[in-house]
A and B are shown apart, each in its own frame.
Chain A
Amino acid sequence: MTDTPQRPLRVLAAMSGGVDSAVAAARAAEAGHEVTGVHLALSANPQSFRTGARGCCTVEDSRDARRAADVIGIPFYVWDLADRFKEDVVDDFVAEYEAGRTPNPCLRCNEKIKFAALLDKALALGFDAVCTGHYAKVIVREDGSRELHRASDMAKDQSYVLGVLDDRQLAHALFPLGDTVTTKEEIRAEAARRGLAVARKPDSHDICFIADGDTQGFLAKRLGKAEGDIVDESGAKLGTHEGAYGFTIGQRKGLRIGTPAADGKPRYVLDISPVNNTVTVGPAAALDVTGLTAIRPRWCGTAPSGPGAYTAQLRAHGDETPVTAELIDGTLHVAFAEPARGVAPGQAVVLYDGTRVVGSATIASTVRATSAV
């Protein structure tokens, strides 16, 4: 990889129809790159008669992306990656919940769709890079290799969902928004200044393929209702649920347990057992985790050898926590300096060295401070 961002690249800009990716594409074009916009049709929702058509539930986003491309003055296409998306992201999302884990579909989409299916197609068609509206920084080392860093604005940083990218993927990634200190308001102002109508479009927070935001309903439709017990740490039954997949470790709301805890303090989901369809709840203190193991590690650069001191992020928008991590036989073992809470199998642990992303892995199990569960 001898390309540097200074040299004009042929760039494929993934445009979701939102303000971030529109400004990212505009900045890439302004930097002198030859930019082509592409909107990914990811939903397979037959709504019309058109034979074999996947309805047009993304029509509005697609139109917004198209209008942004018009204003920027770049070619624009819509690519249908719905089959790949269903296979690699949606089905995986459902299977992970079914197994009692808590997946992060955005991370999965970056790993499997944007920087795999899309990137591979882009490279084959003669593009040099894929550009997205993520807030993260890529720094080119002297030897030409890449480092992924947190965005200048820590509040907007999205390096966590990009932590799965390897060297090769990073070498072809362009994140024009990560290089400057930029608040969302500044990005909106910039979009307005550039004449982009998406400047005032509301942020999307939810999972893109669950349009109404009802994850429980989405899962229930696919996994069916499976009534089971909610028990406390001693195994005593406190209530029932309609499917263990509907819960996340650390969850407090929506437990619908009639009787309060003996000490009157709120109870949290401590454990989800899909095997016997049981959800265990208990006090906040029981959520304390002192370590974890994680599988499917991916490294930005070479894998570290021996134990190392890092900071770790355990969920999107989560805080950093100091850890010691070591790779043993392909499994990452992480020990926390201080107990951490809300650590859910299925989520990613991303290791940082300062602002630099070292690598990531999928949390497989946790080590509890108390041995009650």
Chain B
Amino acid sequence: MAYLDHAATTPMLPEAAAALTAQLAVTGNASSLHAAGRRARRTVEEARETLAEALGARPSEVVFTSGGTEADNLAVKGLYWSRRDADPARTRVLASPVEHHAVLDAVHWLSEHEGATVEYLPVDSHGRVHADALREAIARDPDDVALATVMWANNEIGTLMPVRALADAAAEFGVPLHADAVQAFGQVPLSFEESGLAAATVSGHKIGGPYGIGALLLRREHTPVPVLHGGGQERHVRSGTLDVPAVAAFAVAGQHAAAHQQLFAQRVGGLRDELVEAVRAAVPDAILGGDPDPAGRLPANAHFTFPGCEGDSLLLLLDAQGIECSTGSACTAGVAQPSHVLLATGLDPDLARGTLRFSLGHTSTPADVEAVAKAIGPAVERARAAGLS
């Protein structure tokens, strides 16, 4: 079995699983005032400090959420509402067209229901937003921009964004910039402090932590309007009883991700390079998606377009041989569609149907690469014979 879909979710680290199960046996609502409550609160705050340390943030800047999707929604909708409340002229939202659906659908919803004007920033053929493009977009009318949102690293093609330069451009006009850093955490150096971002999203299960836990890193000066109203547990911007076991395990995974980031990039990046070479050797006309420069992409990401193939067909053929990867995007019915990311980079829609994303992770081995090297040639040949339906 070759699991090459770590960008979807990666196996939980044994130490995170241990932290999770240990806490499951402990009673205590972190908001309660008695001893059990204080114990739970202490676990949460220690985890918050650990994560803050791992992410180059202050503990007070860590807002726990139910995951990446909620953190993205809180940042995008919450900052839109709070910025517009402060000045009704601020209704313009700037977003990259290659965002994850958690951001893309949120900004679209704002345009449908909250009077927002969404402007998609131009990207180059690697799917990268350049700082000048953001600067130019804001400068057109700096007073009407509510926020900008550009992901740290793309989940499909792995392209890294120039986050610091983008944040600087936004800062020139006092516009808050949010970045979905779900895929970046653990793979590239990540310091919230140094990024200059107003907000950043991270998620537990992408770094070896549990599902259902994430965080929005949020500068103190921003108070987004809550998406979830209730007890106000997290800085009054996020309500809901904290999931103490998940928070504790997330911190363990976060600490591990930060501590091992360099090693990860080196080891997994090496395997990824071998995988890219192997695929190119087997299928010479395969097109590598994203930035061909390893410095410009996630070390664990390899994305290919196979001309004349249906991604569905390739997935089925590889799955049957125990190779688990992804076509890159899927709708809830499970129908693969040409990816909005690839279309934004200017790829021909017919070509965009024949894509596969291999994403490696902490459990990847040379045997995984060998399995792909062996299977991909015959699979592409078969899929080509089946053609595009």
Contacts and interface: CB of A to CB of B under 8 A. Distances in A.
Given A75-B316, A125-B313, A125-B382, 13 more contacts: A49-B105, A49-B108, A51-B343, A52-B340, A53-B331, A53-B337, A56-B331, A58-B333, A59-B333, A78-B333, A78-B334, A121-B386, A125-B316
A66 B334 contact: yes
A65 to B, nearest CB: 10
A53 B337 CA distance: 6
A84 B388 CA distance: 11
A59 B101 CA distance: 18
Contacts of A125: 313, 316-317, 382-383, 386
A117 B388 CA distance: 10
Contact of A41 (B104, B333, B338): B333
B316 to A, nearest CB: 6
B92 to A, nearest CB: 19
A132 interface: no
B319 interface: yes
Contacts of A77: 312, 315-316, 334
Interface residues of B, number: 28
A83 B385 CA distance: 19
Interface of A: 36, 39, 41, 48-54, 56, 58-59, 62, 66, 75, 77-81, 83-84, 117, 120-121, 124-126
- The 6 closest A-B CB pairs, nearest first, are A124-B386, A51-B340, A78-B334, A124-B385, A56-B333, A62-B333
B313 A52 contact: no
A81 B337 CA distance: 12
Contacts of B335: 41, 53-54, 56, 78-80
Interface in B39-68: none
B334 A75 contact: no
Contacts of B320: 36, 75
The A interface is mostly helix, strand or loop, or mixed, namely mixed
27 contacts: A49-B104, A50-B101, A50-B337, A50-B340, A51-B337, A52-B340, A52-B343, A53-B331, A54-B335, A54-B337, A58-B333, A59-B333, A62-B333, A66-B334, A77-B315, A78-B334, A79-B389, A80-B312, A80-B335, A80-B337, A117-B389, A121-B386, A121-B387, A121-B389, A124-B382, A125-B317, A125-B382
Interface string B359-389: 0000000000000000000000011011101
Contacts of A56: 331-333, 335
Nearest to A60: B333
B137 interface: no
A219 to B, nearest CB: 27
Contacts of B108: 49
B385 A81 contact: no
Interface of B: 101, 104-105, 108, 312-313, 315-317, 319-320, 331-338, 340, 343, 349, 382-383, 385-387, 389
B315, B335, B336, B387: residue with the most chain A Cβ atoms closer than 10 Å: B335
Contacts of A121: 313, 386-387, 389
Contacts of B383: 125
B54 to A, nearest CB: 33
A83 B387 CA distance: 14
A59 B332 contact: yes
Nearest to A57: B333
Contacts of A83: 389
B315 A126 contact: no
A119 to B, nearest CB: 11
Contacts of A53: 331, 335, 337
Given A75-B319, A77-B315, A125-B382, A52 B337 contact: yes
Contacts of B337: 50-54, 80
Nearest to A82: B335
Contacts of B333: 41, 56, 58-59, 62, 78
A326 to B, nearest CB: 38
Contacts of A58: 333
A83 B333 CA distance: 16
B97 to A, nearest CB: 9
A365 to B, nearest CB: 35
Contacts of A59: 332-333
Contacts of A39: 334
B317 A81 contact: no
A13 to B, nearest CB: 13
Nearest to B107: A49
A53 to B, nearest CB: 5
Contacts of A48: 331
Nearest to B384: A124
Nearest to B378: A126
